[in-house]
Structure 1
Amino acid sequence: MKALELFCGIGGFAAAAGTNIRIAGALDQSAVALAVYRWNFPEHPARQADLEKITADELAGYGADLWWLSPPCQPYTVRGRKRDLDDPRARSLGHLLAVFPEIPPDRLPIHLALENVPGFALSQARDRLTSLLLKRGYQIRERHLCPTELGIPSRRPRYYLSASRLPLRPSFSFEERPLRPLLDFLDLSLNDDPPPELLLAPEVLTRFGDGFRILDPDEDTAYTTCFTGGYGKSLMHAGSYLRCRDGVRHFAPHEIARLLGFPVSFRFPEKLSLRKRWKLLGNSLSVCAVREVLNGFSVHACPTAPSLFP
C-alpha cells in the first residue's frame, strides 16, 4: 500500500506505518518540521509544499492508496477562537476540500484518514469533509481515541476519521489496556542530574506551582496531560512536569517522543533548539493511536483481509 502524507510534520504517521506502508510522498509547509522528518526518514520523498495552492492533478499524481491528513488544529481547539474554516490556518485544508471533487474517480485514493483535536468533530470543516467523502462513494467511521486507552500514560485525546471505498473492518470495542508505568518512558539520568535548561526556577514554583501538574516518576498511576506546542514557553496548560533530585523539571523532548510512541532511535538535528523540539512534538501525533486507526482499513476488498499491523 502506498500513502501520501499531507501535513506530515516530523513523521508521526511515517513512524506508525513502519515498513508495512510505502510512503509515496510526504508534504508539509514547515521547513523546520521537514528537516526533522528527513533526519529520521531519509528514504522518504518529503518536500516542502504550499498546500493552499497544490492542484488536484499533483495530488492524484502520487498514485497513493491512502491519504493521511493531520491539518493544523488551532482553528478547533478549546482555548482557541474556534474560527473553523474562517481561520487563516485552515486555508490549506479548505483548499484541499475545494480541489478534492476535481480528482477523477479512477485516481482517487482508496482510503483517507484524518487526525485532529476533539473539537474538529463539531466543526464546519468536518461537515464539509464528510459530505464530500460520502458523495464520492466512501464509507466513513469517526471515533475519539486517547493514548491512555492503549496503555500509554499520557493524555492526548484526538478525533480520527477513517474513510474507505472498500468495506471498513467491522467496528468493535476493545478493552482498555492497563497503563504502563511512567518510568518506562523516562530518562532516569535526567532525574539524578537534570540540565539547568530543564529545571523550573524556584520563584516560578513559588508563584505558580499549585497550578502545575507535577508528577512523581515512581507513582504507578501517574500520567501526563497533553503536551502542546507551547510547552517550555507557556507555564500553564501546556503539559506536565516531573519531580527530580534538584526540584521540578520539564520533560525532555526525547521523553515526550517516547510517550507519543516514536521509536527510541528517533532523533532531532543537533542544532535544533530545545524550544523548537518541544513545539514540534506538541504539534505531532500519537504513533500508537495512528497504528490503531490504520488497523481499521482492509488491505484488500475482502472485509476479512489481514490487518496492516498484526
Structure 2
Amino acid sequence: MKVLELYSGIGGMHFAFEESGIEGCISMAAEINPIANEVYKYNFPDTDLSGRNIQGLTPDVINKMNINLILMSPPCQPFTRNGNFGDDEDPRSDSFIHILSMIKDLKDLNYILIENVKGFEKSNTRNFLKKTLEEANFTYQEFILSPLQFGIPNSRHRYYCLAKKNSLESDFTPNVIKTNLNIDTAEPFPLKDILEENIVVNDYELQEKQLCKYIKVLDICYKDSNRSCCFTKAYGRYLDGTGSVFCPISEETANNILKEAKNTGVSIENLKRLQLRYFTPKEISRLMCFPEKFNFPPSITTKQRYRLLGNSINIKVVSLLIRLLINNSLESIKS
C-alpha cells in the first residue's frame, strides 16, 4: 500500500496509518505550515515531506508514485463560524478542490479517507466531493463521529468520508459499520490515565484575571472524570469554548468552593483554592491517542503546541476507519 498524506500537519494521519496495521508506507507527505513540518520531520525524519503548496501537485507527479491511498484533513476554517462559513468561496478550500479535480486521473488510487470539522457535511464543497467521487466510480460512506463513542474521554465530533473504488468489495451499510467499529460499546476511561506527573504547575495554572472573568463558563474536569470538551487551536489563549481545564482536588470539594463563591460573591482567594490549570500538551496528545513516542522539538513553544494539536486528529478513530476502509471485514477490525 503506497500512501499520500496531504495536509499532514504534525503527522496524525501517519500515526493512524501505523496503528491501523495495514502493510504499506507513506510515500510522500505534504504540508505548507513550516512549524507543523518541523514537528513532522522530528517524528518522521525518513519520510519525504513536501513543504510546497498542494496545488502544485499534478496527476503525473502522483501517478509516478503509484499511490493507492490518499489520507487528508483539509483546512476546516471555510466550514466554521470563525471562518465566516466561506465554504468553496474561501481561498483555503482551493487546494482541496484542486485535489478532488485530479481524482479521476489517478490510475492507481483505490482508497480515500477525508477528515474535517463537523459542519463540512452541509457545505457546497461536500457536494462537490460527492459528485467527484461518483464520477470517478468510487463508493463512499460519510460519518460524524466522536472519540467518546470509542471509549476515549474527549468530545471531538468530526466529519469523515471513506471512499473505495467500485471495483473493490465493500459494505458501507450503517449497521455493519457500527458493529465493525464497536461504536458506543466502551465506557470512557478516567482522565487520571492521561495525566502527566511532576509537571511545573505554575506553567499551566490559570491567572487571577482569567479565573474571575471565566469561572462561570469553564468546563472543569477531575481525575475521575470520563469526559472532556474538544480542544481547539486557541486553547491556552482563550478559555470560552476552547477546551476543558483540570482541577486536582476532589469534585465534591470543588463544588463546595464553587457554591460558596456563588453565595458570597466571587473572590480570588476562593477560586485559587480550586488550583485550576490547563491540560498540558502531552496530556492533550494522549487524549487524542498519539503514541508515547510522539514528541515536539524543544524549539516549539507551548502556544504553538496547543495550536498544532487543535488542528490535528484523533489517532484511534482514524486508525479504525483506515482498517475498515482497507480490510472491510469484521474479524480484521476486531483483531
Counterpart of 1:151 in structure 2 is: 151
1:285-296 equivalences under 5 Å are 285-296=313-324
- Aligned AA for 2:170? L
Which has more helix, going by share of residues?
A: 2
Structure 1 residue 110: Cα displacement: 0.6
List structure 1 segments (4+ residues) > 4 angstroms apart after TM superposition: 303-306
- 185, 190, 194: which one aligns with 1:185: 194
1:251-270 equivalences under 5 Å are 251-270=279-298
Counterpart of 2:4 in structure 1 is: 4
Superposed CA offset, 1:227-249 (max 9, x none): 11111122211111111377111
Structure 1 residue 253: Cα displacement: 0.6
Structure 1 regions of 5+ residues with no counterpart? Answer: none
- Aligned AA for 2:94? R
Counterpart of 2:246 in structure 1 is: 242
- Aligned AA for 1:74? Q
SS at match of 2:326: coil
Q: Distance in 2 between matches of 1:114 and 1:275?
A: 27
Matched, 1:307 2:307: no
Matched, 1:224 2:252: no
Superposed CA offset, 1:96-148 (max 9, x none): 223334x15xx241101100011111111111111111111111111111100
Structure 1 residue 203: Cα displacement: 2.3
**Percent identity of the aligned residues?**
31
- Aligned AA for 1:216? Y
Rg bigger for which structure? 2
Matched, 1:33 2:36: yes
- Between 1:160-169 and 1:3-12, the stretch displaced more is 160-169
Structure 1 residue 309: Cα displacement: 7.7
Matched, 1:212 2:199: no
Matched, 1:129 2:129: yes
SS at match of 1:211: coil
Structure 1 residue 186: Cα displacement: 1.0
Q: Distance in 1 between matches of 2:81 and 2:207?
A: 29
Between Structure 1 and Structure 2, how many residues are aligned? 299
Normalising to structure 1: TM-score of the pair?
0.90
Q: Distance in 1 between matches of 2:118 and 2:308?
A: 20
Counterpart of 1:199 in structure 2 is: 205
Structure 1 residue 60: Cα displacement: 2.3
1:200/1:304 Cα in 2 relative to 1: closer, same or farther (>3 Å)?
closer
- Aligned AA for 1:237? G
The question of whether the paired residues in 1 share the 8 Å contact of 2:111 and 2:164 is answered with yes
Normalising to structure 2: TM-score of the pair?
0.84
